[in-house]
Amino acid sequence: MVYGIMEFRGLVAVKPLELSRIIYSPGKKLFGVIINAANKPQVYSSIINLLAKYSILPTSLFLISEDNVAEIMWVLDFSNAKISVEKIGKEILDVEGVHNVKYIKPLLKSLLVDTYHFPLLVRGERACIFKKSVLRELFRDIKKRLGETGKIFLFYQGMEDGRNIFEDYRKYAKSNRGLLALFAEVVKAVGWGVVEYIETDFARKTFLLKIYECMECELCKPSKEPCGFFSKGIIAGLLSRIVNEEVEVHELMCIAKGDPYCLFRAGPRG
């Protein structure tokens, strides 16, 4: 499936992000170059000028800086380069402010894997990337093999995660409304979906929200019933902590059924 720029009613347009952990570009001569250098504009300018001088094209770039020192990982296309990766590495090392240069060679022709960075972290906590094909088997098999028990398991697992999310996000958000806004942005940032709040009534403790492109529900297409049990649990756990009362969550619409988005309604039990 090819993803382009997506627009959702009332929301800012979003564009897919290729994480560039594994890059396959047929016909291209790819190398990874990791540069440790002073975090100064003139350092970046000098490196860019060297790449231009030898007809080397950047394919992707990852940069992180700490204490005025930057680590830059470039994926570079040497298809039309007038120099070898080792020689350009030596010239980059001669740039004032550059401390060290390392290389990642292609694993196979036109296939480069980032073998330098491990483990992956999200705000200091270890994380792992699973492709949709792997997640599909995980979520679908739980429901298929365990039936209603599997659905209940996913819901309660989601509920526990929702409670943990509240405890984590309250460190940053100054209000419950701000916490919900942060939750929506993080859901999008991690690739789970795009949240739109239709109703947030903290006095009545009722909420209505849409999730566009919900990963969990996309995994179980096609379905005759809503299947966002894990997502529903997360919403229930989070909102229960926010309103300090157990809430019920119902999925009224679901993309797995062919609806344009998943719609969740939450409110007090009973």
Helix axes of 85-93 and 41-53: crossing angle, nearest 10 degrees: 150
pLDDT in tens, 188-247: 999 999 999 999 999 999 999 999 999 999 999 999 999 999 999 999 999 999 999 999
DSSP 229-256: HHHHHHHHHHHHHHHTS-EEEEEEE-GG
Residue 266 near residue 198, CB atoms below 8 Å: no
Architecture of domain 22-126: 2-Layer Sandwich (3.30)
CA distance 194 to 214: 7
pLDDT at 32: 97
In terms of Cα–Cα distance, which of 35, 112, 34, 114 is closest to 77? 112
132-268 and 22-126 share a CATH fold: no
pLDDT (tens digit per residue) in 14-67: 788 888 899 999 999 999 999 999 999 999 999 999 999 999 999 999 999 999
List the chain domain ranges.
22-126, 132-268
> Can you name the residues that pair with 66 across neighbouring β-strands?
69
CATH topology of domain 132-268: Muramoyl-pentapeptide Carboxypeptidase; domain 2 (3.30.1380)
DSSP state of 107: S
**3-state secondary structure at position 238:** helix
Pairing of strands 22-24, 262-268: unpaired
Local structure of residue 160 (DSSP, 8 states): H
Q: Looking at residue 6, what is its pLDDT?
A: 63
